[in-house]
């Protein structure tokens, strides 16, 4: 199937900031056309069809997006497709709709009423199936709970739960009444919750008593109790019983989910919301210590979430779609909570860890439920490779017809393993590039049309205009590394950073003059395929989780022993990237193993266990320029190879470098 050609090597470099260089080594020439039988039945079934769609959307983007928007239910149709006051967009202005209505009511009024919407499997093997009819009933009830609690359209509701259907019910109920959900990943610490709840001034927190993890459980309510001591905006906490943890219910403030649901009616008229009504805030890391509240709004997000889901996953009514992402991240928002439901699909939701009780849990699920589409992250695939093929091959995976990858660059070898061992050389792979900010997939193969190459997300979707440019905004030539930008507004783009328009403008729109800057380095090859080369800012992907190195630095510096800290990443075979912290201690402290562990735990407490540095090196001083800027490039080199090959002429004190090498790591 593959056209195996010889490999070539070409080195390309650009210097995006004073400190970062993008280099790319081309070595991948294999190409996999879509299998003929897949293409035959696909929504888009040839490259010619894709090119035609792409050209039409490029010629008239507004007509293209309006055509997609017409497929939804509108209480009132829009007056203007796009109002663009750069960099602020209003899509489908004047229109009134409700995303929850489009995700549920539309199907409940059709034959899909009794179709499975969510097939849920708990870590212990317990199962629940919610049909569209039942999900609609539960969501309507919980929407009434929100109303009874006095939640008004536009008010924020924080949600902190494990992967149970009620998480999706809570999200959709917010959308139904026009409340703005702010889902906080259940791995985040009390401090991280406080920060997010305060920044969004959430009125309510919805949580579970606990969440199951690898046979044990984590008490989430206790974490919420600690978090909301310092959140004056919170008026009430709704607690779902999942694990039967011992929890303290505070009079007047805390309410059981089941008590409130018991009182609520099961019909709730959806709010007729403006197209630009805020839908959710989702916090993500940026290059400063403070996480950014990415704001998405109703109609534009709905249009792209649904249409990208339909075309990228080639979804059909018969499919069982399994996405392993957590709803606490954008992938879970767009491709679990919204995209599949807007398309009337059946999705499989799994509560727990991929290796519980053993490394074959996902493959066992796929076999038992006859999953047809599987969407996961490279970091998980790398862990499966390490665990051994036998975990996969002992299961019958013949139901699978399409595989997806998201969150990080997928290394060609990992892609090939996924293709051969999981896909049995039969399933196309969609490597989907996008971001919290983009709301939905931007660059991805269309599985019935696009020939894939291991390691590239291939071409942008119709309506999405991306380019790779130099620092001055001029386009790079084929295979030249540069900055990935988006040239035209798209409906599911973030509208702002919650409460901080200035930061929104500065972060995304100030570097490349009216083009959105993604923060990623990339190159386009001779076929126009986009190869992501990773972040060029201080954001790192660790095990598929996005972290700002400065956030981790802030956490370290908040420890009493730390005078200064710089955190960089180095490549890691399993996690994609690992975090290495260079820490200068206050004079009275001595760096030893105990303090290393204390600092790692401190970061876990401040942010969450995902942010724990993999390695901490003690530094008498950090390498700085004469103007006092930490030379992170040197630290990255040290962390990666223990050597410095790059330019050190701007370094102020050469002596500090010596102390940073060759330390025993954790």
Q: What angle do CA 292, 607, 554 make, to 5 degrees?
A: 75
Contact flag: residue 331 with ligand PRX (CB under 6 A):
yes
Please identify, using beta-carbon distances, which residue of 298 and 376 lies nearer to ligand PRX. 376
CA distance 307 to 548: 31
Residue 67 to residues 64, 303, 313, 447, 643, Cα–Cα distance (Å): 5, 10, 20, 22, 55
Residue appearing with tokens 């990255």? 636
Residue with tokens 């489009």: 102
Check binding of 541 to ligand PRX (CB under 6 A). yes
| Closer residue to ligand PRX in complex, CB, 436/452 | 436
Query: Nearest approach, Cβ of 521 to ligand PRX (angstroms)?
Result: 9
Nearer to ligand PRX, 496 or 541 (CB): 541
Q: Which stretch binds ligand PRX (CB under 6 A): 10-18, 114-122, 159-167, 518-526?
A: 518-526
519 near ligand PRX, judged by CB under 6 A:
yes
Q: What is the 3-state secondary structure (H, E, C) of 493-507?
A: CCCEECCCHHHHHHH
Q: Is 21 exposed, middle or buried (0-12, 13-18, 19+ CB in 10 A)?
A: middle
List CB contacts of 334: < 8 A, sequence separation 6 or more: 301, 305, 308, 309, 439, 440, 492
Position among 138, 189, 324, 435 found at the interface with ligand PRX (CB under 6 A): 435
Who contacts 556 (Cβ-Cβ below 8 Å, separation ≥6)?
562, 565, 567, 581, 583, 599, 602, 603, 613
For ligand PRX, the closer of residues 102 and 492 by Cβ is 492
Name the CA radius of gyration of the chain, rounded.
24
Among positions 220, 337, 406, 566, the unique one binding ligand PRX when judged by CB under 6 A: 406
Mark 643-664 as b/e (b = at least 16 C-beta within 10 Å): ebeeeeeebeeeebbeebeebe
Alpha helices in 237-324 (DSSP H): 257-263, 298-312
Which of 142, 280, 374, 433: binder of ligand PRX (CB under 6 A)?
A: 433
Minimum distance, C-beta of residue 381 to ligand PRX, in the bound complex (Å): 12
Applying CB under 6 A, which of residues 243, 518, 543, 584 lies at the interface with ligand PRX?
A: 518
Do residues 33 and 451 make contact, with C-beta atoms less than 8 angstroms apart? yes
At 555, phi and psi to the nearest 5?
A: -65, -45
Task: Out of 98, 102, 236, 436, point to the residue binding ligand PRX (CB under 6 A).
Answer: 436
Least Å distance, CB 522 to ligand PRX, is 9
Indicate whether 434 belongs to the interface with ligand PRX (CB under 6 A).
yes
CA distance 147 to 625: 56
The binder of ligand PRX chosen from 330, 430, 493, 581 (CB under 6 A): 330
Judged by CB under 6 A, the residue of 19, 209, 431, 511 near ligand PRX is 431
From 3-11, 197-205, 400-408, 502-510, give the range in contact with ligand PRX by CB under 6 A.
Answer: 400-408
Q: Does 101 bind ligand PRX (CB under 6 A)?
A: no
409 part of the interface to ligand PRX, by CB under 6 A: yes
Q: What are phi and psi of 457, to 5 degrees?
A: -80, 5
Q: Which segment (77-85, 513-521, 581-589, 643-651) binds ligand PRX by CB under 6 A?
A: 513-521
Residue (81 or 282) nearer to ligand PRX, CB: 282
- C-alpha 234/C-alpha 246 separation (Å) is 22
Residue 551 found at the interface with ligand PRX (CB under 6 A)? no
- Encoded one letter per residue, x for contact with ligand PRX by CB under 6 A and - for no contact, window 521-540 reads -----------x--x-----
Rule CB under 6 A: say whether 546 interacts with ligand PRX. Answer: yes
Task: Return the range that interacts with ligand PRX (CB under 6 A); candidates 72-80, 200-208, 433-441, 487-495.
Answer: 433-441
Whole-number Å distance between alpha carbons of 493 and 254: 36
Minimum distance between the CB of residue 371 and ligand PRX, rounded to whole angstroms? 21
Alpha-carbon span 373 to 612, nearest angstrom: 33
State in angstroms the smallest separation of the CB of 382 from ligand PRX: 14
Q: At what angle do helices 190-200 and 593-606 cross, to 10 degrees?
A: 30
The DSSP string of 418-483 is: IIIIISTTTS-EEEEB--TTT-S--B---TTTPPB-TT--BSBPTT--EEEE-TTSPBPPTT--EE
What is the token pair recorded at 337? 């909570």
Looking at 22, 320, 457, 599, which residue binds ligand PRX (CB under 6 A)? 457
The reply to whether 453 sits near ligand PRX by the rule CB under 6 A is no
Stretch that binds ligand PRX, among 12-20, 414-422, 430-438, 549-557 (CB under 6 A): 430-438
Q: Is 461 in the site for ligand PRX (CB under 6 A)?
A: no
Q: Any contact of residue 254 with ligand PRX (CB under 6 A)?
A: no
408 binds ligand PRX (CB under 6 A): yes
Question: In a 10 Å sphere around its CB, with 0-12 CB exposed, 13-18 middle and 19+ buried, how is residue 441 labelled?
Answer: buried
Contact 73, 102 (CB under 8 A): yes
Pick one of 432, 507, 550, 569: the residue that binds ligand PRX (CB under 6 A).
432
What sign does the CA torsion over 429, 542, 17, 473 have? positive
Selected from 178, 270, 340, 407, the binder of ligand PRX by CB under 6 A is 407
* 270 binding ligand PRX? (CB under 6 A): no
Query: Is 439 a residue that touches ligand PRX (CB under 6 A)?
Result: no
Name the minimum Å distance from CB 425 to ligand PRX.
21
Tokens linked to 393: 């091959």
Give the range of 338-346, 402-410, 486-494, 557-565 binding ligand PRX by CB under 6 A: 402-410
SS3 content of the chain, % helix, strand, coil (to 5): 30, 25, 40
Instruction: Quote the least distance from Cβ 236 to ligand PRX, whole Å.
Output: 30
Question: Number of residues in contact with ligand PRX, rule: CB under 6 A?
Answer: 21
Q: Note the residues at the interface with ligand PRX (CB under 6 A).
A: 284, 330-331, 406-409, 431-436, 457, 518-520, 532, 535, 541, 546
């Amino acid at each position: 199937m593959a056209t195996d050609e010889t490999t070539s090597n070409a080195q390309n470099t650009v210097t995006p900031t004073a400190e970062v260089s993008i280099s790319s080594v081309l070595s991948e020439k294999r190409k996999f056309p879509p299998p003929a039988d897949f293409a035959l039945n696909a929504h888009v079934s040839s490259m010619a069809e894709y090119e035609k769609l792409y050209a039409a959307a490029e010629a008239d983007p507004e007509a293209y997006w309006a055509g997609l928007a017409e497929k939804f239910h509108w209480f009132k149709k829009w007056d203007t497709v796009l109002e663009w006051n750069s960099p602020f967009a209003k899509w489908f202005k004047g229109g009134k709709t409700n995303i929850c209505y489009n995700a549920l009511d539309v199907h409940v009024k059709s034959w899909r009423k009794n179709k499975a919407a969510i097939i849920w499997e708990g870590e212990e093997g317990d199962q629940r199936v919610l049909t569209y009819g039942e999900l609609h009933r539960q969501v309507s009830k919980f929407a009434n709970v929100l109303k009874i609690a006095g939640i008004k359209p536009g008010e924020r509701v924080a949600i902190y739960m494990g992967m149970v259907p009620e998480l999706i019910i809570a999200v959709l109920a917010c959308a139904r009444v026009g409340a703005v959900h702010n889902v906080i990943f259940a791995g985040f610490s009390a401090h991280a919750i406080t920060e997010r709840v305060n920044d969004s001034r959430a009125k309510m927190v919805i949580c579970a008593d606990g969440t199951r993890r690898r046979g044990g459980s984590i008490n989430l309510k206790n974490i919420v109790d600690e978090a909301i001591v310092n959140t004056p905006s919170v008026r009430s906490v709704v607690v779902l019983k999942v694990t039967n943890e011992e929890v303290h219910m505070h009079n007047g403030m805390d309410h059981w989910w089941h008590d409130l649901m018991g009182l609520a009616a099961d019909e709730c008229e959806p709010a007729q919301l403006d197209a630009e009504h805020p839908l959710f805030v989702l916090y993500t890391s940026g290059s400063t210590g403070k996480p950014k509240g990415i704001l998405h709004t109703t109609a534009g997000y709905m249009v792209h979430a649904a249409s990208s889901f339909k075309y990228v996953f080639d979804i059909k009514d018969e499919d069982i779609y399994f996405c392993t992402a957590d709803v606490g991240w954008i992938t879970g928002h767009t491709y679990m909570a919204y995209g599949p439901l807007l398309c009337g699909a059946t999705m499989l939701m799994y509560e727990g860890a991929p290796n519980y009780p053993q490394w074959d849990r996902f493959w066992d699920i796929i076999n038992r439920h006859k999953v047809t589409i599987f969407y996961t992250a490279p970091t998980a695939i790398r862990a499966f490779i390490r665990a051994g093929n036998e975990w996969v091959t002992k299961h019958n995976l013949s139901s699978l017809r399409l595989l997806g990858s998201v969150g990080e660059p997928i290394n060609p070898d990992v892609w090939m393993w996924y293709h051969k061992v999981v896909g049995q050389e039969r399933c196309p792979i969609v490597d989907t590039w996008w971001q919290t900010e983009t709301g939905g997939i931007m660059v991805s193969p269309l599985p019935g049309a696009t020939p894939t190459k291991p390691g590239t997300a291939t071409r942008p979707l119709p309506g999405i205009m991306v380019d790779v440019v130099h620092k001055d905004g001029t386009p790079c030539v084929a295979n030249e590394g540069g900055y990935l930008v988006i040239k035209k507004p798209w409906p599911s783009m973030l509208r702002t950073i919650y409460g901080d328009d200035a930061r929104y403008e500065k972060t995304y729109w100030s570097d490349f003059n009216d083009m959105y800057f993604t923060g990623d380095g990339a190159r386009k090859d001779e076929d126009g395929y986009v190869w992501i080369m990773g972040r060029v800012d201080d954001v790192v992907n660790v095990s598929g989780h996005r972290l700002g190195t400065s956030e981790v630095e802030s956490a370290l510096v908040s420890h009493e022993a730390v005078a200064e800290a710089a955190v960089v990443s180095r490549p890691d075979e399993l996690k994609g990237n690992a975090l290495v912290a260079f820490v200068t201690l206050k004079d009275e402290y001595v760096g030893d193993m105990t303090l290393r562990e204390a600092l790692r735990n401190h970061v876990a407490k401040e942010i969450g266990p995902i942010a724990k540095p993999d390695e901490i090196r003690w530094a008498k001083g950090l390498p700085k320029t004469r103007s006092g800027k930490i030379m992170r490039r040197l630290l990255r080199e040290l962390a990666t190879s223990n050597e410095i090959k790059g330019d050190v002429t701007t370094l102020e004190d050469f002596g500090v470098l010596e102390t940073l090498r060759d330390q025993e790591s954790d």
